Amino acid sequence: MREPLIPLREAILFPNAILPLIIARKFSKKAFYKAVKNGNYVLFLTQKDATVEFPEKKDLYTIGSLGKIIQHIETPDGMIRCIAQGIERVKVKNLVKKGPAEDFYFEAEYEEYPFASIDEKKQVFYIRMIKDVFRNLLRIERFIPDELLPSLMTSKDKLEVAYIIASNMPLPISQRQALLEQKNVESFLKNLHKLLVEELEFKQLKEKIEEKVKEEIRKGQKQVFLTEQMRQIQRELGYEEPDEFSSYFEAIKKAGMPREVEEKARSELNRLRKTPAFSPEATVIRTYLDWLINLPWNKRTKDNLDLKNVKKILDQDHYGLEEPKSRILEYLAVLKLKGRLRGQVLCFVGPPGVGKTSLAMSIARSLGRKFVRMSLGGVRDEAEIRGHRRTYVGALPGRIIQGVKKAGSKNPVFLLDEIDKVGMDFRGDPYAALMEVLDPEVNKNFQDHYLELEFDLSEVLFITTANTSYTIPLALRDRMEIIRLPGYLDIEKFHIAKKHLIPKLLKDAGLPESYFNISDNAIYTIIRTHTKEAGVRELERKLNKLIRISAKNYVEKKKKTYIKEKNINKYLGPPPYAKKESEKELPSGVVYGLAWTETGGEILRVEVLNLEGKGGLILTGQLGDVLQESAKAALSYVRSRAKLLDIDEKFYEKRDLHLHIPEGSIPKDGPSAGLAIMCAMISSLTKIPFPSDTAVTGEITLTGEVLKIGGLPEKISAAKRGGIKRVILPEENRAELAKIKPSLKEGVDFFFVKHVDQVLSKIFKVDYIRKTYRGDIQVVGSS
């Protein structure tokens, strides 16, 4: 069987359904006229892609409907409007183009492809369910032509009803085609019912959401109406308050803004006047104006320039710390002479617990300035410093501007805590942003991304803290004055405990002073055997525990607590740290080195064992790459001096050296242990013990030069804690030692060396070397 074929776009004709069509394409009109001549019968297949203008066989579904043209009319613009009625479902077997290439039409060979029938009762059941869902859908949205509704609602439960509904459903073409291609009536009705239910749920949810939106709009309109009504009533009663724009105008006048900032604020206020009151943009403008108005553009606190009073306050709050205190007094002296000083940037570097943060707070108190603290630990986003641009939802200024606003003055003491722990990732480099903040030459024109205006930070006293300065970029380090706070000595910790910690802890606990008695020896015992730190935090925790025990005795028995050296272990338990003093005599192959850590200095016990072997170097104790390289360099130098040291020159072929640094669970690295490792190797090979009261530190080269090391104050502090009497240092550290406070050097002799051979001469008594370097070792006494 053959009939003309019209391809459909975005439409499907079901059997017994009526479909209005507009025919515009030339080949479709040709097929239409051919069908009119042959009894009005025509085939309808749907295109897979509606955008294809000249479809081929592959662009059409193979299952469609045979339809009949019921009526038609030609329009003045050359198109044909018609109504087609589906007759039966068909399957197209072949498709051909009839006529010349420029004036063709489609003709198709087809076969009947009816739905397999089902039990009539079951069919009626499905159709009734479909009609029920359909009625509910119609209450929400009319998607069926009005002329079809009466016949649908009043018709009996026939299959034609389902066809008409399927034909007019607002569904994607692929889903409607899938319905047409179902194998039997039952699957067709089931899938149609499922799609109708899904569409109904979607329409109900949409209607619910739209109703909520309308309700919110009604509430907003009601609020606007009531607000305006209230304003009019207040005006009639004479209670009218200044409107929002007048309030902003007056606030801008009183804020003391620079001229360009005031112009920007007035411009934003004019924008606010033209913006609808409840639009999101109005909220953004209000927030921006609030920030501009509340920033201290011209507000500053008066500095306390009485140097004696400032020194008194600093001494009250902190014991020792002479260098930072002296630096603050110098700053104030210049400020008193000049009247104004550009912003200074101090960087306190030291181990945890030595008072870096509390010292910054004391500086603010002594100067009479407001204090602001910002922790930089873990900060990875540059916007934390500079803020977000106003184009972002919820944008705010950076934490620098937020801190200045919180202080309420433009000359606060601003503490940037843990500056060595700033991170960096795809969101930017906070260090780069800090360079502008901390550069006294340019921070007077600091520009926050949110404000988009310059704010003068030159009067802010910036103070930064760090545990180490090595992780701070050199360009940023160059903008700061580094003040090192080494670990406290035992006597300093004792005075801090007596003058500061114990009175503070007693006050916090609410315990009368007379009910807590602790001897001086007990405090020293806690410092030496119950704590191991450069600062005083652990000491504070131990004292706090003793005060809590005393408070318990006072509450339960009204009893005084006496804490002495003899009973300290009763309250605090066995001492976790035995007093680490140098041994009376060290075995050969053992040397004391000195190490720097973030928590202060440590004594390193460097051990080398001389074993039978094949010249291997065994390294244990979690030694880092740099430390391993130092060990290899030390071994090479020992080999070069084997003859002078009276060591078998071929020892490296017959012996293995095993280097170990105890406390193997702790990683160790750095070049400054090179000299100690070399001394331990020589001691092990020559069987000459190294002096037990001597420690060495220094980086060595293959030619024997001893290079400068870092962390000198911390290392000397560790040596004193460990009972070391002599320390061998690189000559290049002589100038640095001179700057260290005398109390830290007291009781220790310092030997300066330029070359390894000077150590061999002094310690291992090598005659040739002693003659060569006679008098070269210089000693700085402990006086």
The 10 Å Cβ neighbour count of residue 766 is: 21
Which residues, other chains included, contact 778 with Cβ-Cβ below 8 Å and sequence gap of 6+? Answer: 751, 752
Terminal-to-terminal C-alpha distance of the chain:
122
Residue 38's CB is within 10 A of a number of other CB atoms, namely 12
Measure the CA–CA gap between 311 and 363, rounded to whole angstroms.
10
User: How is residue 562 written in tokens?
Assistant: 């006496």
**Residue 457: other Cβ atoms inside 10 A:** 24
Taking phi over 0 as left and psi of -120 to 50 as alpha, with beta for the rest, 747 belongs to left
Instruction: Note if 715 is an active site residue.
Output: yes
How long, in residues, is the chain? 783
- What tokens does 721 get? 């804690």
Angle between helices 159-168 and 185-237 (to 10 degrees): 50
693/727 Cα distance (integer angstroms): 9
Q: What is the DSSP letter of 57?
A: G
Residue type, 603: I
Helix axes 159-168, 173-180, angle to 10 degrees: 160
Picking from 545, 540, 538, the residue whose alpha carbon sits closest to that of residue 563 is 545
Q: Which residues pair with 478 in a beta bridge?
A: none
Extract the runs of DSSP E, i.e. beta strands, from 500-586.
516-518, 561-563
- Count other C-beta atoms under 10 Å from residue 159's C-beta: 20
Cα–Cα distance measured from residue 134 to residue 153, given in angstroms and rounded to the nearest whole number: 10
Specify the residue for token string 């806690």.
Answer: 526
Whether 743 is catalytic is no
511 Cβ partners below 8 Å, 6+ apart? Answer: 547, 550, 551, 554
- Among 458, 588, 630, 672, the one annotated catalytic: 672
CB 535 within 8 A of CB 488: yes
Catalytic residue among 715, 720, 745, 762: 715
Report the candidate in 255, 182, 720 with the shortest Cα–Cα distance to residue 492. 720
Cα 541 to Cα 530: distance, rounded to the nearest angstrom: 11
Structure-block tokens of residue 486? 């080494």
Burial class (CB in 10 A: 0-12, 13-18, 19+), 384: buried
Q: What tokens appear for 501 in the block?
A: 């910690």
Cα–Cα separations (whole angstroms), residue 72 to 20, 29, 186, 515: 10, 12, 35, 111
Catalytic residues: 672, 715
